[in-house]
Each structure stands twice: as C-alpha cells, then as structure tokens.
Amino acid sequence: MNPIRKGLAIAVIVLLAGVSIPTTGTLMSDDDTTPPITTHSLSPEMPNGENGWYVSDVTVTLNATDDMSGVNSTYYRINNGIWKNYSAPFKVKGNGDYPVEYYSVDNAGNVEEIKQTVIKIDKSEPDGDFYYEGLFRKIRFFTEIYDEVSGVEKVEFYLDSELMFTDYEEPYEWISDYTIEHHFHGIAYDFAGNVLHSAVSSPPGNNHVKGLIFSVNVTEKCVTFYAILVKYHISTMVPYNGIYLLRRCKFRNDFTGKIYPFWIDATFYHHF
C-alpha cells in the first residue's frame, strides 16, 4: 500500500474511534427518572423522656441525595403547617405531638414521596395540689392532678418518707388509719417522666357541711341552724366527722357555698 492510502486509512480509523466510543459526556435530564432520597436525624437522637416522649426541644436535620441529576430543593413542614425550603437544621419547640413531613426534588424534576416522623414533647410537670382530710376516724389522702400533654401516669402517696400506696387511676387517693401527726408527701408522674412533688404537713382547717336543715339564722358574726340530716367533714377534728342528726349547729360567718332555708352546701373556715 502506498504511503498516501495508508495515511488516509489510519486517519479514518482514528476519527471513527473518537466518535463511536466517548469516554466522557453530559447526562441529559431525560436519563434521570428516579427521585432523590431524603433521610432525617434528630438531636437528641432518642427520646430523653419516658414512653417515647422528649422532655426538651428537638433539632431536626435533613439529608437529601441524588446519584444522577442531583438534588435541587428539599422541603419540610411541621404539624401540617406551611411548606418551607430546607436550608439548615431546625428545632421543634414547645409541648405537643408534632408530625414533621419532608421531601426533595432533583434537577430532573423528579419529586420524592412525602416522608414523616412524629416528635412528642412534654417539658412540663403535672399540675395540681395534694390534700388530706378527716374521714370517719381515718385520713383520706387525695390529689386533684392533671397533665394536658402526655397525661398522668401514676400518683404515689408517702407517709414519713415511706411509700404507702400507688394509684394509677382517678380519683387518685389513699385512705389511711394513721393520724394527722404524721408527715404526708405526694409525688405525681406524667407519661413523659416529669415529676411533681408536693408536701402537706397538716390538713386544711375547714368544715364542709351538706344536707337538710331548718331554723337558719345568719348574723354578722355567726351562722346557726338545726340539722335534720347533715353530712360534714371537720378536717381538724378527725374523730368527730360523720353525721349531724337533729342537733343545733353553730359556725362563724366565714364560709363559701350556699345556704338556703332548708338546704346547706357550704364550707366553713372556723368552728365554734
């Protein structure tokens, strides 16, 4: 073969080789039909309270990946609110049960299905007060307690620092044979693990009176009436609680409640 033809043959081979076997190139958007993948992480990583509840604010970090056209945008919303463009970790704050939703879109326009995680936060202790009162030669320990977030899990009743009874259902109470000279202490727990401590060293000094009466006389200083059949609790006179039956009653005029000609439902704060 003469040199000219040989040179032309080599040039054609090199040209064809360069066209048919590309070593690099740009991916077209039509080639990417797979949506991106977004994951989340939380800080604290696991609930720091009880029963899946957090007792602090929670930081949410989103991470989106796309192996072909790349991630264009990531979006999120909290508690069915407005969708926001994710640019940095964000906090979920305050008490509540929060669904956090998120998804991403890649540069080819593929949209990821919405994902969701639920964050439960309760940073508040139960609310309420502990009481005790005389009840037919016994002492009734009780509490009016509530928790609007995770709910009340249990209430413990202590006497002189010793656990005496645990109640898991309303009404939260314990009836004891012990006298009022002992020290009463109560602890209430919510389901998130928040704790309310309350101590009462003496019973409230009031007298609740309810029942049928007649001959009511109310003066500036006192209230008197005859009891037909009246139930009463005198918290400072435990052995005498019970029933007034056909007897004259006298209290100082310092009360809350209602007194009618033939019916009484009132709490007196001093007893003659």
**149: nearest Cα among 111, 94, 197:** 94
Residue 15: helix, strand or coil by DSSP?
helix
Look at residue 19 in the predicted model and tell me its pLDDT.
35
Average pLDDT over residues 80-85: 96
What is Dmax (Cα atoms) for the chain? 143
In order, the DSSP letters of 179-210 are -TTSPEEEEEEETTS-EEEEEESS----EEEE
Q: What angle do CA 18, 19, 24 make, to 5 degrees?
A: 75
Decide if 53 contacts 150 (C-beta within 8 A). yes
pLDDT digits (tens, 9 = 90+) for 183-227: 778 999 999 999 999 876 444 456 788 999 999 999 887 888 999
Residue 240: pLDDT over 50: no
Q: Given the structure tokens 């040179």, which residue do they identify? A: 7
Look at residue 219 in the predicted model and tell me its pLDDT.
87
Look at residue 259 in the predicted model and tell me its pLDDT.
92
Q: Would you place residue 247 in the very low, low, confident or very high pLDDT band (cuts 50, 70, 90)?
A: confident
Looking at residue 99, its amino acid is P
Look at residue 232 in the predicted model and tell me its pLDDT.
77
Residue 116: burial class (beta carbons within 10 Å; 0-12, 13-18, 19+): exposed
Look at residue 17 in the predicted model and tell me its pLDDT.
41
Q: What is the CATH number of domain 127-200?
A: 2.60.40.10
Residue 156: pLDDT over 50: yes
Residue, of 175 and 105, whose pLDDT is higher:
105
Residue, of 17 and 266, whose pLDDT is higher:
266
Look at residue 235 in the predicted model and tell me its pLDDT.
55
Query: SS3 for 210-261, per residue?
Result: EEEEEEEEECCCEEEEEEEEEEEEECCCHHHCEEEEEEEEEEECCEEEEECC
Q: Would you place residue 137 in the very low, low, confident or very high pLDDT band (cuts 50, 70, 90)?
A: low
**64: nearest Cα among 41, 84, 39, 87:** 39
Look at residue 130 in the predicted model and tell me its pLDDT.
83
Look at residue 250 in the predicted model and tell me its pLDDT.
80
pLDDT digits (tens, 9 = 90+) for 86-127: 999 999 999 999 999 999 999 999 999 999 999 999 999 999
Q: Percentages helix, strand, coil for the chain, rounded to the nearest 5?
A: 10, 55, 40
Domains 32-121 and 127-200 share a fold: yes
Residue 5: pLDDT over 60: no
Domains of the chain, by residue range, sit at 32-121, 127-200, 207-268
Which CATH fold topology does 32-121 show? Immunoglobulin-like (2.60.40)
pLDDT digits (tens, 9 = 90+) for 18-68: 433 233 334 455 688 999 999 999 999 999 999 999 999 999 999 999 999
Look at residue 11 in the predicted model and tell me its pLDDT.
42
Decide if 106 contacts 32 (C-beta within 8 A). yes
Residue 170: pLDDT over 80: yes
CA distance 60 to 120: 13
Look at residue 25 in the predicted model and tell me its pLDDT.
35
Q: Would you place residue 145 in the very low, low, confident or very high pLDDT band (cuts 50, 70, 90)?
A: confident
Average pLDDT over residues 137-143: 76
